[in-house]
Amino acid sequence: NAGVTQTPKFQVLKTGQSMTLQCAQDMNHEYMSWYRQDPGMGLRLIHYSVGAGITDQGEVPNGYNVSRSTTEDFPLRLLSAAPSQTSVYFCASSYRTSGQGVYEQFFGPGTRLTVL
């Protein structure tokens, strides 16, 4: 199993450009999410999905879109990149969330994004 994969590993964008960060998992996990990690701020949830066709906003969703057409894939789209979106982006998946409990989160290796 490859686990959670992310592409690209590194990306430099100019302000206003758009791009898609790819995330895929081969563990048949229902729950997938996107986080950004910035110095001194911890991981913050951008968007998440509890299954194919279902997505919802997290703590910091502005400027990002997601879709979940298959169980395996959960791409994150930056609509019009801004310098404030310079960050490390992690995709994560878990078996599911079950009522008032969570399962182990498996993270991808991350995408380091710089917006000039």
Contact call for residue 1 and another protein (CB under 8 A): no
Q: Which of 85/93 has CB closer to another protein?
A: 93
CA distance 72 to 30: 9
* CB neighbour list of residue 5: distance below 8 Å, 6 or more residues apart: 22, 23, 24, 25, 108, 109
Q: Which of 1/101 has CB closer to another protein?
A: 101
Of residues 9-68, which lie at the interface with another protein (CB under 8 A)? 35, 40-45, 50, 56
CB 104 to another protein: min, Å: 5
Q: Which of 38/80 has CB closer to another protein?
A: 38
Tell me the C-alpha to C-alpha distance, in Å, between residue 49 and each of 23, 70, 100, 106.
12, 11, 17, 14
Of residues 65-104, which lie at the interface with another protein (CB under 8 A)? 90, 97, 99-102, 104
CA distance 20 to 75: 6
